[in-house]
Amino acid sequence: MALFGNVIYTLSCGPEPDPYDYYVSFFNPYPKGAGYEPFYYTSLSVFYDDPTPSEETANVADWQQFTGSKVTAKDIREYIYTYPVAVMSGVALNSTVPDSVRRNTFTKFLQDGGNQEAARYLLFAKTCEPAVVNADPWSVPERDITRMKALQQEGLELYSKTKNKDIRDRYAFQLIRLQHYMRQYREAIASFDEMFGKKTGSSLVYYKSLSLKAGALQHLRDTVQSAYLFSSVFEKAPSLRISSITSMRWGNAPASAVYALCKDNSEKANLAAIYGFNNSEPDMKPLKEAYDYDPSSPALSVLLGREINKLESSFLNETISPMTDSAGMAALVKLSPEMTTMANTRIKPMIRWMNTVIDKGKVRDIDMWKVSAAYLSYMCRDYAAARKALDNARVKDPESRDQWEVVNLLVNINEQKTIDRDFEDKLLSSFRWLDGKMGKLGADEWYTSSRTMFYNKVYRNLLLSILAPRYHQQGNLTKEALVRGRCDSLHLYGYQWYLDLSARDQVRNEMSSADLLKLNDFFLSSSKTPYENYLTGFFPKNIDINNTIGVSYLRVHDFQNARDWFKKTRSQEISYQVFQDQLQDFGYDTADARHPRSISQLQFCERMIQLQEKMKITPVPAKVFYDYATALFNISYYGKTWGFVKDHRPTYLWYTAASDRHPFEKQYFGCYAAESYYLKAAQAATDNEFRARCFFMAARCSQKHTPPSDDEQKYYSALVHNRYFPVLKSNYGQTQFYRSVYGQCSYLRDYVKSLKK
């Protein structure tokens, strides 16, 4: 078995998904993984987060311990990481320094406390940095070997003169690092063994030096010993875990050989965890191996959390749906055969194993394990088992108790057959609890791994993926819209980026006129419950309900009702060319010399009503039918004035047979009504030029509801053999209009060419 192999991360163009929020999750990875933060689960990033503590924080802590905690961490950090060589030289030589430097408590410690050895070392370390640090990570470093040898000689002299052991160890690190980057790998190994001996250290500088030895061994192709040493650094120095596991990946040593070097089961458990941290696929083996080696290993909780997050990504995300279509709703009722198999063969066995671990009581974070077992039962929709596990958990740990509350809420909702007013009172208490747990997203952040934002995401997921679909399933679209409005107010954008699931989208684009009237009546009601008042307070203020209801009627060509609602609002879209026929599928509805006047949605409806009235009086002028048809076409998906009926028009949508099941979509994508009125116009017309125009526009409408086909050649043939092309060619081929559109329409040309074969 090889360690890790070649891990490839593929990036593609387009909007980047949030690596911390691309699937539905209710499980918090943070509480029991301090130091292991880089290895929380995400398949979209090499590492999840920075470790706690960071290397800088660990170094400052070591120096603070050196001072006997007499100096603040802030002043130590400022001195080491911001002061230039010139300032450090002044402090080391005990000469005059700026007042701002003098006021630093670490400066006072170094100068006034007789700690010149420490001051001199820090000056030497700052001088070494340019020689060993590559300022540009994208280029091969150019080492000044002459300069590095001079520094090495200087460091050896200072090392021999220094009495303080801690400072001597720091000089040893600098010397080993210089040898390593001069590619004196054997010498670096010998220096470590000579200066640190075989005793295990505890300081950061010791483990940084051990990492250099491990790296030197890797360069000398002793990858097994190197991997073992890196695993030791990984275990003992959290701030160096990313660099340690990265180096182990590069070494790719056989796992069995590395295990053979482990001195005890604790080291083996650590090694099993390292292997597990590299696997992005669900796999219980590393977790079980680590547990068998050492049930008290601190890495177990992180491994468990990774497996739960993986199951959220591959299972939970597929079995609860934020969608409001029929297929999405079906997923809420019954697990698919594939998901049922996964639940029975992967999740339930995991629960059984976890219960044996809990019964033995040897793991560190047993409260977390109890709640996790309940959560997995919830995932499998075994709510009775989840309830029993929650009731028996008796969780005392505060953070695990918070996770218990989340799982309990999920189980309660799913045990509830109908979300009624009594249950909504209980939900309100949960909402307020979540309000108190949420953090604030920084102004310059669009996503974050911050643990403070976990409950924001939980709240959004609860609203978007659990409650909104439940209300939809109950037929209560008003409450669904309110829940989505509360979700929108959280301003979190993650996995739902790829689905337009906002309250605005539901209200503006999904709800029927009847649904919107109910919503409007709800807003006007003075007898709302506390739960309803809470949600109403978060509903988007930028939705003009009067205009929205008007648009809903406009979509189904109910122009009289649309007109009545548009009269109640000044917020209206405008058009210039909605009554101008559109011979081609491009162009914008803008003012021009022929169409200088704007037409509001209200004015449009009034004109359509006038045309309808004229159609009641026979004989109907052909132009009346034609103008009416043109308006219908122009407010379709293909028309310039689609903005009258939709907020946006994605380019990837098109007519399908499913469109015919929805009154609005049938006309928006299929243009059936427009086609029928163009035919009426053709029948009423007496001028061949105008009749040719009518038949061509009817052909364009007919083309829009041509059934799609996976066979591109067959589909194109259907478009070419349009039902109206024979009429155009046979009866109106000599018209000027025909000759004009023949040069514009490739389908018509290809049809004519097909007649000659």
Q: Span 241-249, mean pLDDT?
A: 97
Confidence of residue 199 (pLDDT cuts 50, 70, 90): confident
Looking at residue 3, its pLDDT comes to 39
Q: Span 662-688, mean pLDDT?
A: 97
Q: Is the pLDDT of residue 322 over 90?
A: no
Can you give the length of the chain in residues? 757
Q: Which of 515-524, 586-595, 615-624, 669-678 has the lowest mean pLDDT?
A: 586-595
Q: Is the pLDDT of residue 11 over 50?
A: no
Looking at residue 16, its pLDDT comes to 67
**Helix, strand or coil, per DSSP, at residue 745:** coil
Cα 604 from chain centroid?
Answer: 42
**Side chain identity, residue 323:** M
Q: Which of 152-156, 470-474, 636-640, 668-672 has the lowest mean pLDDT?
A: 470-474
Confidence of residue 10 (pLDDT cuts 50, 70, 90): very low
pLDDT tens profile 545-600: 999 999 999 999 999 999 999 999 989 999 999 999 999 888 899 999 999 999 99
Q: Say if CB 62 and CB 53 are below 8 A apart.
A: no
- Domains (ranges, CATH) in the chain? 44-125 (no CATH), 138-279 (1.25.40), 416-543 (no CATH), 563-755 (no CATH)
Q: Say if CB 333 and CB 512 are below 8 A apart.
A: no
Q: Which of 298-302, 401-405, 504-508 has the lowest mean pLDDT?
A: 504-508
Q: Which of 4-18, 258-272, 479-493, 572-586 has the lowest mean pLDDT?
A: 4-18
Looking at residue 14, its pLDDT comes to 47
Confidence of residue 94 (pLDDT cuts 50, 70, 90): confident
Closest CA to 523 of 509, 503, 551, 505: 503
- Angle at CA 233, nearest 5°, toward 227 and 234? 85
Q: Say if CB 467 and CB 483 are below 8 A apart.
A: yes
Q: What is the mean pLDDT of the chain?
A: 92
**C-alpha to C-alpha distance for 665 and 686, rounded to whole angstroms:** 33
The whole-model pTM stands at 0.87
Looking at residue 451, its pLDDT comes to 78
Q: Span 19-23, mean pLDDT?
A: 87
Query: What DSSP string runs through 140-164?
Result: -----HHHHHHHHHHHHHHHHH---
Closest CA to 410 of 371, 438, 449: 371
Measured N-to-C along each axis, helices 223-236 and 204-219 cross at an angle, to the nearest 10 degrees, of: 160
pLDDT tens profile 702-726: 999 999 999 999 999 999 999 999 9
Q: Is the pLDDT of residue 524 over 80?
A: yes
**Helix, strand or coil, per DSSP, at residue 644:** helix
Confidence of residue 4 (pLDDT cuts 50, 70, 90): very low
Q: Is the pLDDT of residue 416 over 90?
A: yes
| Neighbouring residues of 162: CB distance < 8 A, sequence distance ≥ 6 | 117, 121, 168, 171
Q: Say if CB 578 and CB 599 are below 8 A apart.
A: yes
What are 410's two structure tokens? Answer: 């999920």
- CA torsion sign, 720 to 724 to 727 to 732? negative
Q: Is the pLDDT of residue 328 over 90?
A: no
Q: What share of the chain is helix, strand, coil (3-state, %, to 5)?
A: 65, 0, 35
Closest CA to 346 of 287, 300, 403, 259: 287
Looking at residue 325, its pLDDT comes to 60
Q: Say if CB 400 and CB 31 are below 8 A apart.
A: yes
pLDDT tens profile 24-73: 999 998 888 889 999 999 999 999 999 999 999 999 999 999 999 999 99
Looking at residue 32, its pLDDT comes to 85
Q: 547-556 as b/e, with b when 16 or more CB fall inside 10 Å? A: bbbbbbbbbb
Q: For residue 482, give the H/E element and its range.
A: helix 477-489
